Amino acid sequence: MKVFGTLLESPVGKLTYRFRDLLALEPLTADELGFLLDQSKPFQEIQKHPLKKLATLRGKTVALAFFENSTRTRISFGTAAARLGADTMNLQAEASSIKKGETLLDTAFNLNAMKPDCLVMRHSASGAADYVARHLDIPVVNAGDGTHEHPSQGLLDALTIRDRLGTIENLNVTILGDLLHSRVARSNIHLLGKFGCRFTLCGPSIWVPRELEKIAPGVPIRCVYKMEEALEDAHVVLMLRVQTERLDDPPLSANDYILLYQLNAERLKRAHRDAIVLHPGPINRGIEITPEVADGGQSCVLEQVTNGVAVRMAILYLVIAGASEGGAHPALEANPSRSEESGHKKTKESANAGD
Amino acid sequence: MLVINNGRVIDPATNTDRPRDILIDGDKIAEVAEPGRLATVPGRETFDAAGLIVAPGFIDLHAHLREPGQESSETIETGTRAAARGGFTAVCSMPNTKPVNDNASVTRFVLDRAKATGAVHVWPIGAASVGSQGQAISEIAGMKDAGIVAVSDDGKPIATAKLARQVMDYCRSLDLPVIEHAEDVSLAVGAVMREGVTSTRLGLRGMPAAAEAVCVARDVQLAELTGARLHVAHLSAKASLEQVRSAKSRGLRVTCEVTPHHFTLIDEDVSYDSRFKMNPPLGAREDRAALLEGLADGTVDAIATDHAPHEPALKDVEFDRAPFGILGFETALGLALEQLVHAGRLPLGRMIELFTRGPARILGIERKIAAGQPADLTVFSIDRAWTYRVEDSPSKSRNSPFDGKQFRGGPVATIVAGRVVYRTN
């Protein structure tokens, strides 16, 4: 399976990977993951700039194929493409021909026939991006496949944690909610687990099967079923959205869920004093999390969204331009208006300025 | 007249394992004799089986030939040609065709097509309930008259305990085995593989081993209640096997089959490749170990393929959407030799029994290499190296996880009713 290519050399800021797709974080090494995070850093700066548009991918086209409802991820990838100067084509499930019986592969072939340079896709079937990537000759970026992985979410969460806590190494990470059906949880475990983080998973037992303790060999993962115990000493509390459509499937009511597993200020006190709270959104206020926690100082919810654009710029840049070019990070040119004209320059000093 | 000479004849039914020549006259075995004498009579054709094993014709209790109704995936002609390449001389065809084989006209259609186009014997299995819908019992006596050898709602279990009891009661009086696809479907809603660490890691919905074992438990109780012959199809879980073992020890007429893929592969082999998707799904490591033990100790009565062709347009899709099932005929013997004989788990004679006498007894028939018996023979090698290439298969479908696999030993010739229907070059 082609997921990520060989590491050639790794000075920060240089384009050193040859990878075609980004399908999952599980197969990536700590070095490769760290490189992706480092590559995102300069793009974070771009988000603060009054003129946010680079010309790096001018003339390139990103196909966004969302076979499952999505608001923020789709807009985030679309914004990331726009800020890199790329054009986008959009396919949304409602508007697509899948309801007319076309297979996923035929739809992908048709999009590919319009010659995009990359396909970003979300699909409700686990492994769908992997399946499409096996048949396409352009890079495929997984924007969430079923209950498997959500690589860009894992990366933006790690970036957010690193910004807030200064490190992603050796942290106690507590993940709360419907672990079984969470692609966000899997991507986080596969990323942070490679940096020595320890995981405590907590939620109703049908959503937190013991098998989860073994999904990432070598990573300390434990499943507990009492929230108070789960929060003890946590540096990072990662909330998962309760998919209300699933609440009638598992054997507990919304009220019982709130009683047992809602994150409120009182419970959060059990976590580490400087603990941060992440949530991939959209939030169900008053169900899995109280407004005071969601809006409180420990919450990173909106930073996650901002960082999402930066991470996705890095991903698109690397899969589209990274394979063929070497040189400085485009965002280190740091003058978006100028780079509109000249593209990105390759200078030695900027090459090492990424961290 | 044809003489199969110089072969090593192994027949568990007659406790034979020695060099023998076999004379075939028409569709019957005429004589079995010490090597040498039979071939010297002028005018007799010979098949030199030196270095090869000659066994009674292999019987596959479990196959989907897709005709009538799904001819784009398989026909009786293409399916039986693939069966012949796999060394099978008879295959039992499951009733989940379109229309379902739930009445004598469909049974007769299948048998007529088999007679006209089939390379090997086709022994139809009739549906237990009308349309296999689990509501009303089907016309089992009529189908038996037309030629079915068993009943099953395969593809799914007999829907309710009440209906299963009715079917077993009735089949006991008709002396037909009831073949059960054991699955508590309420535990398997939306599931595409076995529940476990791998399904959890891949984010694929799993069904627990209990989905099968719960249904086996139900059916064993009903077999005890009714005295019926219960045969558990494609048994995949250790817990189910233990129930069959205990039923046997209590003297119940309960038997089971295991597929080559279940004794070869495990859930950890699954990725997102739909060629690894079948029902029951691949089990855990310890399930496979238990199946291998059951094959050796006699708890398992037969190897059956569950040959389940699906045309590429249906099967080559997202894992979640792909239909269950894989091709089975052509790789069955190679896998059995590899996993059972070469691995030192079973003597060769026991492996042959699982393809011959085992399935025959479940159907209530006797097959052996002796004068007067039908001339159905499987000739195979235990050491010839070959590679399975699915594109060379006569099957209309390509859904095998074993494409490109190298084997040591496999079918060399298949003789059905005295005719050589398949022979390697």
* Per-residue pLDDT tens digits for A223-232: 999 999 999 9
Lowest mean pLDDT across A241-245, A339-343, B393-397: A339-343
CATH of the domain at B415: 2.30.40.10
Interchain proximity A131–B319, CB inside 8 Å:
yes
How confident is the model over A42-62, as pLDDT tens digits?
999 999 999 999 999 999 999
Interchain proximity B202–A127, CB inside 8 Å:
yes
Looking at the fold, whether B269 and B387 belong to one and the same domain comes out as no
Q: How far apart are CA B22 and CA B420, in angstroms?
A: 14
Looking at the fold, whether B173 and B123 belong to one and the same domain comes out as yes
Yes or no: say if B162 and B173 are a contact pair by the CB < 8 Å rule. no
Nearest to B197 among A131, A147, A211 (CB): A211
CB of B202 within 8 Å of a chain A CB? The answer is yes
What is the pLDDT confidence band of residue A102, given thresholds at 50, 70 and 90? Answer: confident
- The whole-number average pLDDT for the span B384-399 is 98
Yes or no: say if B52 and B379 are a contact pair by the CB < 8 Å rule. yes
As a residue count, chain B comes to 425
Nearest chain B CA: its distance from A220 CA (Å):
15
Looking at the fold, whether B350 and B406 belong to one and the same domain comes out as no
Looking at the fold, whether B45 and B61 belong to one and the same domain comes out as no
What is the pLDDT confidence band of residue B409, given thresholds at 50, 70 and 90? Answer: very high
Average pLDDT score over chain B? 97
Interchain proximity B321–A125, CB inside 8 Å:
yes
How confident is the model over B186-218, as pLDDT tens digits?
999 999 999 999 999 999 999 999 999 999 999
CATH of the domain at B100: 3.20.20.140
Residue A343 pLDDT greater than 50, yes or no: no
What is the pLDDT confidence band of residue A241, given thresholds at 50, 70 and 90? Answer: confident
Chain A residues with CB inside 8 Å of B191's CB?
none
CB of B157 within 8 Å of a chain A CB? The answer is no
Lowest mean pLDDT across A13-27, A311-325, B276-290, B321-335: A13-27
Yes or no: say if B107 and B147 are a contact pair by the CB < 8 Å rule. yes
Chain A residues with CB inside 8 Å of B277's CB?
none
Read off φ and ψ for residue A154, nearest 5 degrees: -60, -40
Alpha-helical regions (H) of B88-147: 104-117, 140-146
Nearest chain B CA: its distance from A223 CA (Å):
14
Q: CA distances (Å), B186 to each of A250, B182, B207, in order?
A: 14, 12, 10
Please name the residue that has the structure tokens 């190897």: B303
Beta strands B16-25 and B2-11, pairing class: antiparallel
Interchain proximity A126–B320, CB inside 8 Å:
yes
Q: For residue A290, what pLDDT is reported?
A: 95
Q: For residue A250, what pLDDT is reported?
A: 66
CB of B319 within 8 Å of a chain A CB? The answer is yes
Last residue of a domain, one of B314, B332, B363: B363
Looking at the fold, whether B134 and B18 belong to one and the same domain comes out as no
Q: How far apart are CA A62 and CA B198, in angstroms?
A: 33
Last residue of a domain, one of B320, B337, B363: B363
Cross-strand pairs, B46: B3
Looking at the fold, whether B309 and B385 belong to one and the same domain comes out as no
What's the DSSP call for residue A46?
A: H
How confident is the model over B107-129, as pLDDT tens digits?
999 999 999 999 999 999 999 99
Last residue of a domain, one of B346, B363, B380: B363
Residue B292 pLDDT greater than 90, yes or no: yes
Cross-strand pairs, B410: B381
User: A-contacting residues of B 267-296, CB under 8 Å?
Assistant: 271-272
Angle ∠(B259,B262,B264) on CA atoms, nearest 5: 110
Catalytic option among B27, B306, B383, B392: B306
Please name the residue that has the structure tokens 């589209």: A320
Q: How far apart are CA A284 and CA A243, in angstroms?
A: 9
Interchain proximity B203–A130, CB inside 8 Å:
no
Which 3 state secondary structure label does DSSP give A209? coil
Lowest mean pLDDT across A69-73, A191-195, B224-228, B343-347: A69-73
- The whole-number average pLDDT for the span B333-343 is 98
Interchain proximity A126–B272, CB inside 8 Å:
yes
Looking at the fold, whether B164 and B184 belong to one and the same domain comes out as yes
Q: How far apart are CA B147 and CA B363, in angstroms?
A: 12
Prior bond of B56 cis (ω within 30°): no
Interchain proximity B200–A131, CB inside 8 Å:
no
- The whole-number average pLDDT for the span B131-159 is 98
Q: Which of A5, A112, A96 has the alpha carbon at shortest distance from A63? A: A112
Q: How far apart are CA A351 and CA A337, in angstroms?
A: 20
Q: For residue A323, what pLDDT is reported?
A: 45
Beta strands B121-126 and B150-152, pairing class: parallel
- The whole-number average pLDDT for the span B410-425 is 96
3-state helix, strand, coil in chain A (%, to 5): 40, 15, 45
Interchain proximity B203–A128, CB inside 8 Å:
no
What is the pLDDT confidence band of residue A4, given thresholds at 50, 70 and 90? Answer: very low
Residue A346 pLDDT greater than 80, yes or no: no
Start-to-end Cα distance in chain B: 22
Residue spans in chain A of domains classed CATH 3.40.50.1370: 30-150+309-351, 151-303
Q: What is the ipTM of this complex?
A: 0.87
Q: CA distances (Å), B356 to each of B59, B312, B377, in order?
A: 6, 32, 10
Q: DSSP characters for B196-251? A: SHHHHHHT--EE-THHHHHHHHHHHHHHHHH---EEE-S---HHHHHHHHHHHHTT
Q: How far apart are CA B100 and CA B96, in angstroms?
A: 5
DSSP E strand boundaries for B16-109: 16-25, 28-33, 45-48, 53-56, 58-63, 88-93
Looking at the fold, whether B190 and B278 belong to one and the same domain comes out as yes
Nearest chain A CA: its distance from B195 CA (Å):
9
What is the pLDDT confidence band of residue A93, given thresholds at 50, 70 and 90? Answer: confident
What is the pLDDT confidence band of residue A247, given thresholds at 50, 70 and 90? Answer: low
Q: For residue B134, what pLDDT is reported?
A: 97
Q: For residue A327, what pLDDT is reported?
A: 60
Yes or no: say if A128 and A98 are a contact pair by the CB < 8 Å rule. no
Q: For residue A333, what pLDDT is reported?
A: 62
Task: Give CA torsion, residues B381, B52, B57, B182, to 10 deg.
Answer: -30
Beta strands A61-66 and A118-123, pairing class: parallel
Yes or no: say if B152 and B180 are a contact pair by the CB < 8 Å rule. yes
Chain A residues with CB inside 8 Å of B318's CB?
104, 123, 125, 127-128, 131
Q: How far apart are CA A116 and CA A137, in angstroms?
A: 11
Enumerate chain A positions whose Cβ falls within 8 A of a Cβ in B: 1, 26, 103-105, 123-128, 130-131, 145-149, 180-181, 183, 186, 209, 211-212, 214-216
Looking at the fold, whether B12 and B85 belong to one and the same domain comes out as no
Q: For residue A9, what pLDDT is reported?
A: 39
Nearest to B197 among A124, A146, A214 (CB): A214
Residues 6+ apart with CB under 8 A from B329: B60, B63, B79, B82, B83, B85, B86, B88, B91, B305, B307, B395
Cross-strand pairs, A64: A90, A120
Chain B residues with CB inside 8 Å of A103's CB?
313, 317
Domain of residue B249: give its range.
57-363
Class of domain A151-303: alpha beta
- The verdict on whether B306 is a catalytic residue reads yes
Number of domains chain B contains: 2
Lowest mean pLDDT across A45-59, A337-351, B81-95, B359-373: A337-351
Calculate what percentage of chain B has a pLDDT beyond 70.
Answer: 100
Nearest to B200 among A26, A128, A215 (CB): A215
Looking at the fold, whether B147 and B168 belong to one and the same domain comes out as yes
Interchain proximity B319–A212, CB inside 8 Å:
no
- Helix (H) or strand (E) segment spanning residue A260: helix A254-261
Interchain proximity B318–A131, CB inside 8 Å:
yes
For the domain made up of A30-150+309-351, give the CATH fold. Rossmann fold (3.40.50)
Q: For residue B411, what pLDDT is reported?
A: 98
Looking at the fold, whether B13 and B156 belong to one and the same domain comes out as no
Yes or no: say if A92 and B236 are a contact pair by the CB < 8 Å rule. no
Looking at the fold, whether B42 and B171 belong to one and the same domain comes out as no
Q: DSSP characters for A3-25? A: SS--B----TTS--B----B--S
Q: How far apart are CA B119 and CA B114, in angstroms?
A: 8
Mutate to test the interface with B, among A175, A184, A211 (most CBs of B within 10 A): A211
Q: For residue B173, what pLDDT is reported?
A: 97
Q: CA distances (Å), A56 to each of A112, A120, A153, B239, in order?
A: 22, 18, 23, 59
Residue B171 pLDDT greater than 50, yes or no: yes
